[in-house]
Structure 1
Amino acid sequence: MDMIVGMSTTVERLTSTAPPARHASRWEHRVAHAITLISLPSGLWRLGLAMGFPLGYTADGYQTICPPGFWGPAYLVLLAVVSESAAFLSLGLVRQWGEVVPRWIPIMGGRSVPPKAALVPAWLGVAVLTVLWTPLLAWWAMPADDMTPTGHTLVGFLYLPLVAWAPMLATLAVAYNRRHRHH
C-alpha cells in the first residue's frame, strides 16, 4: 500500500503544474517582441536572395552567396527560418510557455519548466549571438568587393540591428532569473 501511495505522490508531482511565477512586465514583453522584429529584415533579405534577386550583390558576389541549383537558395531559406525561430524563442522568457510546458505537448504537457531549462539556452544564445553579430559594428570598414556600394549600405542597415539581439536577450534572461529566483 505504501508503494502505491508513494507512486501516486510521484505521479502527482510530475504531472502537476506549478503556479506561474510573477508575470513578465510590459517592458520585458516589448523587448521580446522587438527581438523577433530585429531579425526580420535580414531574414526577408535572405528570402529575396533565395528567390533570385541579387539585392546589392554584384553578379559574381551573388553566385558566391547563392550558388545556382537547389542548395544555395535552400540554405538561405533555412538560415532565415532558423534565425527567426531562434528570435521567436525569446518570447518563452516572457510567456506562460516559458514556465509551464503547453498541455498539447505529449508526455511533458502541463509540467513546470525548470528555470535552468530556459536560462541555459538563453545564455548560450547570448554568447553565440555576441560572437556572430558584434563584428557587424565594423561593417562600414569592411571591404565589400562582391557588393555594389548601395548594396553594402543597404545590407549594413538590414543587419546592424542584429548587434542589439545579444544584449536584449541577456536583459530578458536576467529578468527571467529574477522572477524565478525563489521558485
Structure 2
Amino acid sequence: MLAERVRPASTAGRIAGRTRWWRRWPAWSGYAAAGWSLMYGSLGMYWTAGGGGFPFAPIDQAHRSGSVLEGSRSEVVAPIMAVLGLLGAVIALAMVRGIGSRRGAVAMIAVGWIAAAGLTLFIPDYTMIALVAFGPLLLVFAFTGVPGAQDGIGDILYWHRTNLIILFAGGLLWTAATLAYQRRVRARCQHCGRHGATGRDPSRQTLLRWGRWAVAVACLAPLPYEITRVAWYLGYPLGISPAFLKMMQDTPGMLEVGLGCAVASGVGGILTHGLVSRWGEIYPRWIWFKAGQPVPLALAVVPASIVSIVLVPAGLMMLWTANVRHGWALQIPSIFWLLWSAGLGGATYAYHLRRRSACRHCGQGGERDPSR
C-alpha cells in the first residue's frame, strides 16, 4: 500500500470540504476515469457481441471522421476496446486505492499516460478544435436550425464524431487521474505538484524569457494557415489549383468559414501575447469595469490549455492524411498546428508558474522575492 505523505487525511478532508468540486479533482478523477473505462469497456463487449453502433464502422464519405481508427473492423477493434476498458477500470481503481509495489506504481503510471495520450491526442481528429471554434454557433443553431444543406445539429454531431468527443473526455480524466497518482507516489502535493525539497519555481525573469520564446512560436506557426485562407477569400489560389478555388467559391459558406477560422486564429495570437504582457496579469484601462484588478489565473490558463491540447489531434490528422493532389495549402499549413500547440502550451505553463500563489492545500509557495 502506497502511503499518502502530503498531508494528514483529516486535514486534507477539512480542506476538501471547503472547496468546490473541481478543486477536489485529485480525489475524484481516479474514480471518474475508472467509471469511464468501465462504461467504454462494456460498450466494447456489446460491439464484440454484434451490437450495432460501432463508432468506427465504414460509413458514407460525408459522415466519416478523420480518426486513425475510422473504417476499422468491429470484430478486431471492439474486443480490444473491451479488454482495455475493463483493464483500465481496474488500474484506475488501484491508483485511487494506492495498491501496488513501487515497481507496480511505475507500470500503472506508464499505462495511465499512454491511455491519456491515446485518447486525447492520437485517436481523435479535428473535431475538438472545430467544437472549440464553432461551439457558440452550435448553441445558436440548436434554437434556430442549421443553415444550408445540413439536416439539423445531428448532421453535424453525428455518432462517429460524438464518439471522438467521448474518447477525448475520457483522455482528460485519465490525464487528471494519472497526474494525481504520480504526484502521490512521488510525495508531492496532488493539487500543485510542489515538493518541499525541490526549491522554488524559476524566477519571474526566467519564466518571462521562456514565455516570450514560446509566444513567438505560437504566433508564427499558424501564419501559413491564416495567410492562405485570407488569400482564398480574396480570390487568390495561393497553394491550390484555380479549379479547386472555383469549387470553393461555388460552395456557399466555404470560403467564409475559412476566413472566420483565420480571423479567430489571429485574435488568438493577440490574446496569446497576454501570457507575457502586463495586461495579461492586470486588467487594462480599456476594460473599465475591471481596470486595475488582477486577471484570474484560470481565465487565461484554462482556455489556453484547452486550445493547446485540441490542436494536437487536428495537426496529427493532417500529418497522417496529407495529400497535395489539389495543392499544398489544403493541409500542409495545418501540420504547423503541432508547433502552435507546443508554443501555446509552453507559454501557458510559464504563465501559470509565474503567477501561481501559495497552494491552499499544502501551503507551499507564496509571494516571490521581487529581486528574482
> Aligned residue for 1:67?
250
After superposition, residues 5-154 of structure 1 pair within 5 angstroms as 22=204, 24-67=207-250, 71-139=253-321, 142-145=322-325, 147=326, 151-152=327-328
Deviations 1:69-120 (A, max 9, x none): 6x44433322211111112221111111111111121211111011111111
Cα distance in structure 2, aligned partners of 1:105 and 1:181: 23
Cα distance in structure 2, aligned partners of 1:85 and 1:116: 19
Shift in alpha-carbon separation, 1:75–1:156, aligned structure 2, 3 A: closer
Cα distance in structure 1, aligned partners of 2:316 and 2:303: 19
Following TM superposition, by how much is the alpha carbon of 1:127 offset from its aligned partner in structure 2, in angstroms? 2.2
Cα distance in structure 1, aligned partners of 2:341 and 2:222: 12
Following TM superposition, by how much is the alpha carbon of 1:60 offset from its aligned partner in structure 2, in angstroms? 4.6
> Aligned residue for 1:163?
338
> Aligned residue for 2:82?
none
Cα distance in structure 2, aligned partners of 1:56 and 1:166: 23
Q: How many residues align?
A: 155
Following TM superposition, by how much is the alpha carbon of 1:44 offset from its aligned partner in structure 2, in angstroms? 0.9
Cα distance in structure 1, aligned partners of 2:263 and 2:230: 9
Q: Quick one: which amino acid aligns to residue 165 of structure 1? A: W
Following TM superposition, by how much is the alpha carbon of 1:59 offset from its aligned partner in structure 2, in angstroms? 4.7
Cα distance in structure 1, aligned partners of 2:344 and 2:242: 37
Cα distance in structure 1, aligned partners of 2:255 and 2:268: 20
| Contact 1:50–1:72 under 8 Å retained in 2 | no
Residue 25 of structure 1 aligns to a residue in which SS? helix
Following TM superposition, by how much is the alpha carbon of 1:157 offset from its aligned partner in structure 2, in angstroms? 4.8
The alignment-based identity, stated in percent, is 27
Following TM superposition, by how much is the alpha carbon of 1:180 offset from its aligned partner in structure 2, in angstroms? 1.6
The structure number with the bigger radius of gyration is 2
Structure 2's unaligned 5+ residue stretches are 1-202, 358-365, 367-372
**Structure 1 residue runs of 4 or more that deviate by more than 4 Å after TM superposition:** 154-157
Deviations 1:125-155 (A, max 9, x none): 112212322223325xx3454x0xxx22x55
Q: CA RMSD in A?
A: 2.5
Between Structure 1 and Structure 2, the one with more helix by share is 1
Following TM superposition, by how much is the alpha carbon of 1:58 offset from its aligned partner in structure 2, in angstroms? 3.7
Deviations 1:24-81 (A, max 9, x none): 4223112212311221121111111111122343455324444366x44433322211
Deviations 1:149-172 (A, max 9, x none): xx22x5555333222111221111
Structure of greater relative contact order (alpha carbons < 8 Å, 6+ residues apart) = 1
| Contact 1:99–1:113 under 8 Å retained in 2 | yes
> Aligned residue for 2:351?
176
Shift in alpha-carbon separation, 1:131–1:87, aligned structure 2, 3 A: farther
TM-score by length of 2: 0.38
Residue 314 of structure 2 aligns to a residue in which SS? helix
Q: Quick one: which amino acid aligns to residue 173 of structure 1? A: T
Structure 1's unaligned 5+ residue stretches are 1-20
